[in-house]
Structure 1
Amino acid sequence: MESFEVLLEKYAELVIKVGVNIQPGQNLMITSPLETVELTRLLVAKAYRAGAKYVHVDWEDEQLMRIRYEEASEESLNYYPKWLADMAEQFGDEGGAVMRIKVPDPELFKGIDSSKVSTAVKAAAQARQKHSAQTRNNQITWSLIKAPTRAWADKVFADLPEEERIPAMWKAVFQMNRVYREDPVAAWREHIQELKLRQEQMNTKRYKKLHYRAPGTDLEVEMPEGYLWLGGGDTNASGTYFVANMPTEEIYSMPHRSGVNGTVTSTMPLNLNGQLVEGLKLTFRDGKVVDYDATSGREHMTHLLATDEGASHLGEVALVPHSSPISQLNRIFYNTGIDENASCHFALGSAYPVNIEGGTRLGKEELLARGANVSLTHVDFMIGSAELDIDGELPDGTIEPVFRKGNWA
């Protein structure tokens, strides 16, 4: 077994070469929790060795965010500095790459009024709309990666002695990212090809509808004209290939925003901006959420759905087999970027324009006219299990099995 130092070095090399795939002369912005300083320093070094022109690190301390919600006025929560949004936009305009170590504490805002959180999140989303478009349209290179923090490890591995939790989390992160393989970069390229093959099979089928059935779920999802399944990674405006989520096991597309009908029940807790929602159940009519409930955290969903009109419609449909390597770890990670790669999922809110032919060249009204959802928010929730069946309806009305008992049919 290789030492932790060697494995960490391999992980840093992997996410720089495969995740953001830094090109000579390119700038890189890394958003990092204070606790992941060792990895972050390695990432900076690897980026410069790969030819980066400048690497900027934006340090995050979640406790400062909690202090704001505890102490700041409503006027403060409605404010997001324009200069901060401008910096992100300029970075994107210059073709920079963005990497974020995204590991929010699942219970960071426990006891905080969810309306405060939704107010601040919405203010930031409104101010950063251009930068969000840069990422959703893949104009720039972006990648979300994972690294252990104390609060996250304590939640996920609460069954282990305290001193074993962070090492267990590192082991899981390395495992789900194929770092234990002799050549992780080559292993990832092979994995991406497998996802591409599955994506091509689904694009060839051209199903006009998908029908989901599982305990608590009976949902029909219509697909828009010209939809595209994607998976693994994508190319930015300069033609550079990158992987936006590490790990990733999904292929994903967009449903028709007004073509979703029925009821769906989540199978994993949702970490919604540092607040947990469990047992989520949504009922759709003509694409819109008309009823919802949750065994806990229902009030957080109330504020999410009130973000804007598009927050009550689906923007993403994603397929992940129950046999995925992350699912086989048999543990809930309370981190959407991981849990969504253990389970089929949907997302409320904005669709990715890349999931429809010519979508990146369309404005808001044109996207809506094509059936793509538009919103300030994008929140994934997991619905996969060993009991999920999915049927696909072909253009001629023929019904075919797509998933049986949680896996590809």
Structure 2
Amino acid sequence: MENLLTQYARLVIEVQLKLREGDSLSINSEASTLTFARLLAQKAALATRQTVTIVHTNHGKVVDAIPIEPIEKEIFRPPVQGAVMCHIVDLDEHPYLTPTDLNTAAEEVTTLGKYGLLADPVFLDRRIAVPWANIPYPGPRWALQLLGTQASEEDMWRLFTTLYRIEDEHGFRFWEEQGNLLAYRKQKLNERGRCRIRLVGDLWEIGATMAKDTLWAGGRQTLPSQRSFFSSLPVQAIHAALDGKSAKGTFTSSRPFYVLGQVVKGARFTVEDGLVTEYAAQTGKEALTALFSVDENAKRVSEISLADHDTVESHYLEKSIHPHFAREMTSTIVLGGFSLDNLTTQQYEGDIEESALCSSLVRVAVPVGDSHLSVTLHSEDGSESSVMEEGIFTEEGLV
């Protein structure tokens, strides 16, 4: 296992954050992940030749700051070039199927946050301008949710190694190539400008228009300084923000997903003018009802995310149990708050309203990707192109 953790630390340093000499890295970690945080900090200090600071937290509150020094004496270190941040996410801290009082959940922000249902805070004047990343760390509770009660620690690490491609050097090249592929897809889709997107599944169909002055996002991120990084891994999806009043049709979940500690299975939604007007589910409808009661926009269709159906993530993550993986697992339709990385020129609250973006305290990604999914784009110039068939991107449709 020690070798796997060392490989994972290398992946974070060399591929995800792309650390270089002079970077000042800060690592946020709870007590449960401090051992890995120390390993990551030690390897990062060798790469940056600067002090790496571990910010030890307890339920988000700072407990201590632990400096990890590089080998060189301070006089021989390079000048500090800038800040880099990361947060180690303990996958076992997620409550999964822990029951909660659905009657009060909608009124408690801490409960919504605990289940990963809070939307991004809309701070348009405080967007992060430095490389940053969320670094998941696996545990037995996470593995048992996916692999069943007979799963061993060896099974857990085999799954995690597969997802992150850290078994050999090819995995490092894979994520760079994947970043290039998603960058190409974003470029081609953004060249089409604002489109109406039509998704057709097994006995359902829905259409929606991209929000004004937004772009497709996802995959590798690039700062104004042209420095690139991955804020999370794995990456498979690209996503578009929607005009919050434009969606119309029906859609059905293609695999189970979790809401407030309950499994939602076989969910079907009817949408008019961007808002869910009817919904049903084989299981978990009460949890959806509780989530939708948070505010008037919790039932609004805000985003479409597209990911190939034939990926490792799609095959191994058969149910959406942790929000970190929800968008990368398969194609999704998001209800609730929008993603800030789709924005372009928006600087004020009025700009958000002008683009008809959905502002809600909460958001939930509903998986819809499977071998029946097809996606068509209708451009403002009247042209039409198929970009996904049988759940797979059609690269010729992007040309």
Q: TM-score range by the shorter chain?
A: 0.7 to 0.9
Of 365, 368, 375, the match for 2:350: 365
Residues 190 and 215 of structure 2 are in contact (CA less than 8 Å); yes or no, is this contact kept in structure 1? Answer: yes
Residue-by-residue CA offset, 1:107-135 (whole Å, 9 max, x unaligned): 6453321244433336887xx99976389
* CA distance in 1 between partners of 2:272 and 2:126 (Å): 27
Q: 1:243: which partner in 2?
A: 230
Q: 2:15: which partner in 1?
A: 18
Q: Secondary structure at the match of 1:10?
A: helix
Paired residues for 1:68-217 under 5 Å: 97-101=85-89, 103=91, 108=96, 110-121=98-109, 133=123, 137-158=127-148, 161-162=150-151, 164=152, 166-182=153-169, 184-206=171-193, 208-217=195-204
Of 267, 284, 295, the match for 2:282: 295
| Structure 2 residue identity aligned to 1:381 | V
Q: 2:343: which partner in 1?
A: 356
Q: 1:71: which partner in 2?
A: none
Q: 2:55: which partner in 1?
A: 56
Residues 104 and 274 of structure 1 are in contact (CA less than 8 Å); yes or no, is this contact kept in structure 2? Answer: no
Residues 245 and 273 of structure 2 are in contact (CA less than 8 Å); yes or no, is this contact kept in structure 1? Answer: yes
Q: 1:30: which partner in 2?
A: 28
* CA distance in 1 between partners of 2:267 and 2:156 (Å): 26
| Structure 1 residue identity aligned to 2:371 | A
* CA distance in 1 between partners of 2:243 and 2:126 (Å): 18
* CA distance in 2 between partners of 1:248 and 1:136 (Å): 25
Residue-by-residue CA offset, 1:25-75 (whole Å, 9 max, x unaligned): 5352424472x4543332232343333542213255xxxxxxxxxxxxxxx
Q: Secondary structure at the match of 2:286?
A: helix
Q: 1:381: which partner in 2?
A: 366
Deviation at 1:247, TM superposition (A): 0.7
Deviation at 1:217, TM superposition (A): 2.5
Residue-by-residue CA offset, 1:72-96 (whole Å, 9 max, x unaligned): xxxxxxxxx9x88xxxxxxxxx966
Q: 1:262: which partner in 2?
A: 249
Structure 2 unmatched runs, 5+: 63-81, 395-399
When normalised by structure 1's length, the TM-score is: 0.79
Q: 1:73: which partner in 2?
A: none
Residues 345 and 384 of structure 1 are in contact (CA less than 8 Å); yes or no, is this contact kept in structure 2? Answer: yes
Q: 2:65: which partner in 1?
A: none
* CA distance in 2 between partners of 1:355 and 1:325 (Å): 26
* CA distance in 1 between partners of 2:387 and 2:354 (Å): 28
Residues 30 and 57 of structure 2 are in contact (CA less than 8 Å); yes or no, is this contact kept in structure 1? Answer: yes
Residue-by-residue CA offset, 1:126-146 (whole Å, 9 max, x unaligned): xx9997638994445432333
Q: Which structure is higher in strand share?
A: 2
* CA distance in 1 between partners of 2:381 and 2:121 (Å): 41
| Structure 1 residue identity aligned to 2:99 | G
Of 303, 313, 321, the match for 2:300: 313
Residues 146 and 173 of structure 1 are in contact (CA less than 8 Å); yes or no, is this contact kept in structure 2? Answer: no
Relative to structure 1, the CA distance from residue 157 to residue 212 in structure 2 (aligned partners, 3 Å threshold; closer, same or farther) is same
| Structure 2 residue identity aligned to 1:300 | A
Q: 2:76: which partner in 1?
A: none
Percent identity, aligned pairs only, is: 22
Say whether 1:322 aligns with 2:309: yes
Q: Secondary structure at the match of 2:312?
A: coil
Residue-by-residue CA offset, 1:192-224 (whole Å, 9 max, x unaligned): 111111111211233521111112421011112
| Structure 1 residue identity aligned to 2:26 | L
Residues 96 and 322 of structure 2 are in contact (CA less than 8 Å); yes or no, is this contact kept in structure 1? Answer: no
When normalised by structure 2's length, the TM-score is: 0.81
Residues 232 and 243 of structure 1 are in contact (CA less than 8 Å); yes or no, is this contact kept in structure 2? Answer: yes
Q: 1:282: which partner in 2?
A: 269
What RMSD, in angstroms, separates the aligned Cα atoms of the two structures?
3.2
Deviation at 1:334, TM superposition (A): 1.9
| Structure 1 residue identity aligned to 2:165 | R
Q: Which structure is higher in helix share?
A: 1
Q: 2:70: which partner in 1?
A: none
Relative to structure 1, the CA distance from residue 316 to residue 57 in structure 2 (aligned partners, 3 Å threshold; closer, same or farther) is farther
Deviation at 1:21, TM superposition (A): 4.3
Q: Secondary structure at the match of 1:58?
A: strand
Deviation at 1:397, TM superposition (A): 2.7
Residues 48 and 54 of structure 1 are in contact (CA less than 8 Å); yes or no, is this contact kept in structure 2? Answer: no
Relative to structure 1, the CA distance from residue 281 to residue 52 in structure 2 (aligned partners, 3 Å threshold; closer, same or farther) is farther
Relative to structure 1, the CA distance from residue 13 to residue 143 in structure 2 (aligned partners, 3 Å threshold; closer, same or farther) is same
Relative to structure 1, the CA distance from residue 139 to residue 268 in structure 2 (aligned partners, 3 Å threshold; closer, same or farther) is farther
| Structure 2 residue identity aligned to 1:377 | V
Relative to structure 1, the CA distance from residue 289 to residue 365 in structure 2 (aligned partners, 3 Å threshold; closer, same or farther) is farther
* CA distance in 2 between partners of 1:143 and 1:220 (Å): 33
Residues 390 and 403 of structure 1 are in contact (CA less than 8 Å); yes or no, is this contact kept in structure 2? Answer: yes
| Structure 1 residue identity aligned to 2:146 | V
Relative to structure 1, the CA distance from residue 56 to residue 274 in structure 2 (aligned partners, 3 Å threshold; closer, same or farther) is farther
Q: Secondary structure at the match of 2:305?
A: strand
